[in-house]
Amino acid sequence: MSHQLANSFRTGADERGHFGIHGGRFVAETLMPLILDVEKAYAEAQADPAFQAELDGYLKTYVGRPSPLYFAKRMTEELGGAKIYFKREDLNHTGAHKINNCMGQILLARRMGKKRIIAETGAGQHGVATATVCALFGLQCVIYMGATDIERQQPNVFRMKLLGAEVRPVTSGAATLKDAMNDALRDWVANVHDTYYLIGTVAGPHPYPTMVRDFQCVIGDETKVQMQEAEGRLPDSLIAAVGGGSNAMGLFHPFLDDASVRIIGVEAAGHGIDTGKHAASLTGGKPGVLHGNRTYLLQDEDGQIAEAHSISAGLDYPGIGPEHSWLHDMKRAEYVGITDDEALDAFHRFTRWEGIIPALESSHAIAQAIKMAPTLPQDHLMVVNLSGRGDKDVNTVARAMGVVL
Amino acid sequence: MSTVTVVNRLEIRFADLKKAGRGALVTYTMAGDPDHETALAIMKGLPAAGADVIELGMPFSDPMADGPAIQLAAQRSLAAGGSLSRTLDTLRAFRETDHSTPVVLMGYYNPIYARGVDRFAAEAAAAGADGLIIVDLPPEEAPELTEHLNAHGIHLIFLTAPTTDARRLPAVLAQAGGFLYYVSITGITGTASADEAAVKDAVAALRKSTDLPIAVGFGIKTPAQAAAFARIGDAAVVGSAVVQTLADSLDEVRAATEKTVPAVLGFVATLAEGVRAARR
Ligand SMILES: Cc1ncc(COP(=O)(O)O)c(C=O)c1O
C-alpha cells in the first residue's frame, strides 16, 4: 500500500529556509547575524553524533521517552468505526510535547555558550518546559507571556516561578501569544550577546521551523515503529491540533512521503469561522509576513494582524508554521476547524471514556476524531496526537461549565 | 500637482548639505498619530522647523523592532483609522506644497505585501516617496521588492547594526540606496543611548565600504546628541523622542490638544539648531 510519492515532501526547507513561498527570514538586521549563528551551530550539532546521543539520553531518562502509543478501546467501540490510537505526549515530563523541542534547543544553547534563555508562551506549556530545562542546566530564564494568558493559565505561571523563571507580563496588543513573541524578539535584539531565544513552535525565522520540527519528529518516528509493532503496518490517518504546528509537524513529517497516510491538521475555529472569532490561519487567513516568516496569517485588508480567538490559549495565535502553509498549498495535508464548543464536548467525552484528561489543545484533535471515526471502516487505523494533559485547563473548563472552584 | 522627479530628492538633499558643510536632521513621526489631520499638520511644519529629511512611519499592529513610544504611536494611529492608504494620503497632501523635502516611508513588510509590492511601489512613487525602510526585510528577502522600487525610482534604505560584521556587510550594501542607516545600539527604538566613540569607529569602518551617506539613528534623544551624531555621520535620525514629545502633549483620552503641533515642531526646531550649529 505504501508506495513512495514521486517527489519527496520531506526535503524542505531550501538553504534560506523557504517552503514554497513560505518561511524565510524576515527580521531586523540586528538579529540576522545571530540567526545565522543559530543556523550554523545547529548544522554542526546535527552533524555531531555526540549531540544526538546526549539528546537521546535526556529524552529517555528525563523526558520519559518513548511515549506509549495507546489503543483507545472504549472510544473506538463508542464511535463504532476507525480503530483509534493515541500518541501519549501527555505522559512526557511536564505534561506535553513541548519538552522534546526544549531539550534539543537547550543542548544547542549550551553548545553555543549562551547563559540566558528567553521564550514566549501562550498556554504556559512551552514556558514551563523552557523553565524546566533551564533549571536542569542552571541557566537564567525569562518567559514572556501575555497578561490575558497569565490570567487564564495561573497554575502554569506558578509552576514557571517555582522552577526559577522570571515571567514577564506582556500588555501590548491583545496581550496574548503574538504579543509575547513580539516582546521576546525585542528582548533578543537588546541582549544579543548572551541570550538564546528558545522558540516554542515550528514558526519564526529560519532555522527555527526546521529545527523545532526535527526535534519534534521523535513523535512520528516512534509512532511509525509502534504502529508496526501493534498492527504490522502504517496507520491510515493522522490527526493533530495545530497552533503554531509543532506537535502536528512532529507527528506528520515522518509520514509525509507515505502516500497512503491521510494527514489532518486541526485549527481552532473558536466561535466559528464565519464569526471572525477564531484562530484558523489556513482556513481564514492569507499569506503574509510576521515574526520572521512568511505564512498564512489572520489579517485585515490593510495587512494589520488580527487578534485570534480560541478557548485554548495554546492555539490562540494568528499565524501557523510555514511548513504547514506549504503542505496546505501542496494539498499533502488537510486542515479543518474545530470550534470551542466541539473541543469542550470532546474534552468531557474523552475524559469519561478513557480516564485521561486531555489538554484543550489536544481536545481539538479528539473532536475531529469523534467526527471522522464513525464514517470510517473498522480496519482503518487512526492516530491522534494527545499533545498534552489537561490539568492546566481545569479552571477554564470549570468556568465554561459555570462551576466556581 | 506637477512633481516630475528626474533625480531622487534624497540625492539632491545630501549633496546640498555636503556643500553646506553640515549633516542632516532626519525626523521620524508616525502617519495618523494621533489623528490624520494633526499628523499632516505636523508633517507640513517639519521642513520649516528644520527637518532636512522626513521619515514617515507607516503604522503596523506588531512593530517588533520598536520600543514603547513608537508602539503606542502605531496603536494611536490605527485606533484613529490609520492605514497604509491613509499614510499615502498624508504624503500626497504634503507634496501639494512641498516638492523638495525628501520623504522616506518607514515600517514593516506585511502591509506592503498585503497591498501587493508592485501596486505599492507605483502608488508610493506617485505620492512622492523617495525612499523606503522596511525594518523586517533583510537583504536576503528584499529582491522581490527592490525590483519594483527600482522601476519607480524609490530607494530601499538598509539598516546595518553593531552586529553586522564584515562578512555580512557586502550583502547589505549590494541593494542599498539613498543612504545607509546605521542602527547605533543593539536594541529597539527609543531605549538606550548611543555611545559616541563606538559609533565613530563603526561609521569610519562603513565609509571604507560605501560612498552612500550614513545616517545614525535609534539612540538619539537630545539636540546635543543629534548635533554630535550628525557630525560623525551624514545625518542624525530622531524618532522616539519626537514621538514622545507628541505623546506628552495629548489629553487624557490621547487626543491632540492645541499644544500638540507646536510642541512637536518646537522640539524639532531645537534639534535642528543643534545640528545646524555642528558644522564640520
Ligand atoms: C498541549 C498543547 N498542544 C498543542 C499546543 C499548540 O502548539 P503546537 O501547534 O506548536 O503544537 C500547545 C501550545 O501551547 C500545547 O500546550
Cα separation of B23 and B216, whole Å?
11
- The whole domain housing B203 covers 9-277
3-state SS assignment for residue A294 = strand
Query: Which CATH number covers residue B232?
Result: 3.20.20.70
Q: Is residue B136 part of a domain?
A: yes
| Sole residue written with cell 509543532 | A246
C-beta atoms surrounding A5 within 10 Å? 12
Would strands A195-197 and A116-121 be described as parallel, antiparallel, or unpaired? parallel
Cα separation of B245 and B29, whole Å?
11
* Residue A265 pLDDT: 98
Cα separation of B110 and B104, whole Å?
17
3-state SS assignment for residue A270 = strand
The answer to whether the CB of A359 is under 6 A from ligand 1 is: yes
- Closest Cα partner for B169 from A70, A29, A119, A79? A29
Residue with CA closest to ligand 1 atom 12: A314
Model pLDDT for residues B18-35, shown as the tens digit of each residue: 999 999 999 999 999 999
Active site residues of B: 55, 66
Mean pLDDT within B55-61: 98
Domain count within chain B: 1
- Closest Cα partner for A324 from A366, A364, A295, A354? A295
Q: Is residue B152 part of a domain?
A: yes
Q: Is residue B4 part of a domain?
A: no
Q: Is residue B258 part of a domain?
A: yes
Distances (CA, A) of A318 to A81, A162, A263: 34, 30, 22
Q: Give the residue, out of A99, A101, A125, A218, with the most ligand 1 atoms within 8 A of its beta carbon, to mutate for a pocket test.
A: A125
Residue B223 C-alpha cell reads as: 539636540
Q: Is residue B141 part of a domain?
A: yes
* Residue B2 pLDDT: 39
* Residue B5 pLDDT: 46
Helices (H), B21-138: 36-49, 68-79, 84-95, 109-115, 117-127
In order of their start, the domains of chain A are 18-58+98-212 (3.40.50.1100), 65-96+217-401 (3.40.50.1100)
Cα separation of A101 and A78, whole Å?
35
The answer to whether the CB of A121 is under 6 A from ligand 1 is: no
Q: Is residue B2 part of a domain?
A: no
Contact by Cβ (8 Å): A262, A332: no
Active site residues of A: 98, 120, 387
Across the interface, of A25, A290, A294, the residue whose CB is closest to B62 is A290
C-beta atoms surrounding B201 within 10 Å? 12
Chain A nearest CA to B9, separation (Å): 26
The model carries a pTM of 0.96
* Residue B4 pLDDT: 44
- Closest Cα partner for A108 from A174, A213, A197? A197
Cα separation of A90 and A10, whole Å?
26
Could you report the predicted ipTM of this complex, rounded to two decimals? 0.94
Which helix (H) or strand (E) segment holds residue A23: the answer is strand A22-26
Total H helices, total E strands in chain A? 16, 14
* Residue A86 pLDDT: 99
Q: Is residue B92 part of a domain?
A: yes
* Residue B278 pLDDT: 79
- Give percent of chain B above pLDDT 90: 90
The answer to whether the CB of A102 is under 6 A from ligand 1 is: no
- Closest Cα partner for A267 from A179, A342, A348? A342
In sequence order, the 6+-apart residues with CB closer than 8 A to the CB of B259 are B249
* Residue A12 pLDDT: 84
Distances (CA, A) of B263 to A337, B42, B274: 51, 10, 17
Name the stretches of chain A with pLDDT < 70.
Answer: 1-6
Cα separation of A299 and B75, whole Å?
16
Residue A128 has φ and ψ, to the nearest 5°, of -65, -45
What average pLDDT is seen over chain A? 96
* Residue B156 pLDDT: 97
* Residue B215 pLDDT: 97
Q: Are residues A30 and B163, on separate chains, in Cβ contact within 8 Å?
A: yes
Q: Is the pLDDT of residue B83 over 70?
A: yes
Contact by Cβ (8 Å): A129, A58: no
* Residue A6 pLDDT: 52
Cα separation of B105 and B125, whole Å?
11
The answer to whether the CB of A244 is under 6 A from ligand 1 is: yes
Taking CB atoms and an 8 Å cut-off, how many pairs form between chains A and B? Answer: 120
In sequence order, the 6+-apart residues with CB closer than 8 A to the CB of A281 are A267, A295, A296, A297, A298, A308, A317, A318, A319, A320
Across the interface, of A27, A189, A305, the residue whose CB is closest to B138 is A27
What average pLDDT is seen over chain B? 94
Residue A61 has φ and ψ, to the nearest 5°, of -95, -20
Per CB-CB distance under 8 Å, the chain B contacts of A299 are 110, 114
Q: Give the residue, out of A87, A90, A97, A144, with the most ligand 1 atoms within 8 A of its beta carbon, to mutate for a pocket test.
A: A97
Q: Is residue B3 part of a domain?
A: no
Q: Which residues of B100-111 are buried (b: 16+ CB within 10 A; e: fewer)?
A: ebbbbbbbbbbb
